[in-house]
């Protein structure tokens, strides 16, 4: 069987980590990375963050999003969070984890998963695993009986192909085998997905634009790099110079990448899903037909065709216009 590229080369094992409303996802990130990048009591962050480390014989990158329950009611803020998470995990995560505490399984968790699939597409579920964090002394078999009696949990794992993991946070702090078991389960899921990371049109657009922006930033720093190189050449020779140049060039690449990611996250647009696109086309066609009705049947046909195109291109505007027309029609009927 083909092995994931991050187990045998320089590829980075990127994990995208969503959470709900507690500290579980941040504790989980610490355990996966085998280093404390988040405080023990941290329950939320302002924006998506990526942390890297080398552990479990691989290069790791874990991207944590803010707790999504905070943004559940705000489409604008959710888009901001998701756009940054796409840019931070581009060109795509091998694994997506949805983490929450054992005592925090509720209908809200299901709603948040639906929000994730709305923006990322249903195919992200093929790369997703539910992680239930706890600090219980009970055996996993006993805990499984408890969680499987929860209807919301059953719905979550059904959407995720029955993939879930019970993660003991307290034991993980003492014994890295607990984290290793989770990593092994993630590796199995990656193999099931053909050793490919998750990608869609948003990720593809983001990566292309990030690379273009990186190139632009690098051109603007040529003078700075030349000056620094001359400085290093005056201070070091041989292997020492090679080491210092490598460190400097690596730092520049990381800085450029992070600047590009932030820039593109501000302008990246989430395009419509297929369902939303079809709805926008239909609404645009109906709107065009209504506007063309004043010219008779031929005008309606032309208006419908034009409206469908406009609806597909600017689905959001067509939807807004549709709302305006339906509201106006309702007001006319009341007169």
Q: How confident is the model at residue 139 (pLDDT cuts 50, 70, 90)?
A: confident
- Are 166 and 132 in contact by the 8 Å Cβ rule? The answer is yes
What's this model's pTM, rounded to 2 decimal places? 0.78
* Mean pLDDT along residues 266-280: 56
Classified by CATH at the fold level, domain 5-192 comes out as Rossmann fold (3.40.50)
180-209 pLDDT tens trace: 999 999 999 999 999 999 999 999 999 999
* Mean pLDDT along residues 24-53: 92
Task: Give residue 69's pLDDT.
Answer: 83
Average pLDDT, the chain: 83
71-88 pLDDT tens trace: 776 888 889 999 999 999
Rounded Cα distance between 306 and 190, Å, is: 44
* Mean pLDDT along residues 152-173: 94
Q: How confident is the model at residue 105 (pLDDT cuts 50, 70, 90)?
A: confident
- Are 169 and 28 in contact by the 8 Å Cβ rule? The answer is yes
Distances, alpha carbon 226 to alpha carbons 137, 214, 242, 258, in Å = 59, 18, 15, 21
308 compared with 137, residue with greater pLDDT: 137
Q: Is the pLDDT of residue 272 over 70?
A: no
């Amino acid at each position: 069987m083909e092995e994931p590229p991050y187990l045998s080369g320089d590829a980075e094992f990127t994990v995208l980590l969503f959470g709900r409303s507690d500290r579980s996802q941040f504790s989980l990130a610490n355990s996966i990375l085998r280093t404390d990048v988040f405080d023990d009591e941290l329950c939320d962050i302002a924006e998506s963050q990526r942390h890297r480390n080398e552990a479990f014989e691989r290069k790791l990158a874990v991207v944590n999003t803010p707790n999504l329950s905070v943004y559940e009611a705000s489409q604008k803020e959710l888009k901001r969070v998701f756009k940054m998470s796409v840019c931070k995990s581009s060109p795509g995560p091998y694994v997506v984890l949805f983490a929450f505490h054992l005592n925090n399984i509720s209908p809200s968790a299901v709603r948040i998963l639906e929000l994730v699939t709305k923006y990322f597409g249903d195919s992200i579920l093929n790369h997703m695993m539910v992680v239930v964090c706890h600090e219980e002394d009970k055996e996993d078999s006993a805990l499984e009986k408890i969680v499987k009696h929860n209807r919301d949990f059953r719905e979550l794992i059904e959407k995720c192909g029955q993939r879930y993991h019970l993660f003991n946070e307290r034991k993980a702090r003492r014994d890295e085998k607990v984290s290793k078991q989770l990593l092994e389960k993630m590796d199995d899921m990656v193999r099931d997905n053909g050793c490919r990371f998750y990608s869609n049109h948003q990720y593809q657009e983001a990566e292309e634009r990030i690379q273009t922006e990186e190139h632009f930033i690098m051109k603007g720093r040529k003078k700075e790099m030349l000056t620094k190189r001359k400085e290093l050449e005056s201070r070091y020779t041989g292997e020492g110079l090679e080491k210092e140049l490598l460190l400097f060039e690596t730092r520049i690449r990381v800085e450029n990448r992070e600047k590009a990611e932030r820039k593109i996250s501000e302008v990246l647009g989430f395009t419509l899903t297929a369902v939303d696109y079809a709805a926008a086309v239909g609404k645009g066609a109906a709107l065009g037909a209504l506007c063309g009705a004043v010219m008779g049947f031929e005008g309606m046909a032309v208006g419908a065709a034009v409206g469908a195109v406009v609806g597909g291109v600017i689905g959001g505007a067509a939807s807004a216009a549709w709302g305006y027309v339906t509201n106006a029609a309702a007001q006319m009927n009341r007169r």
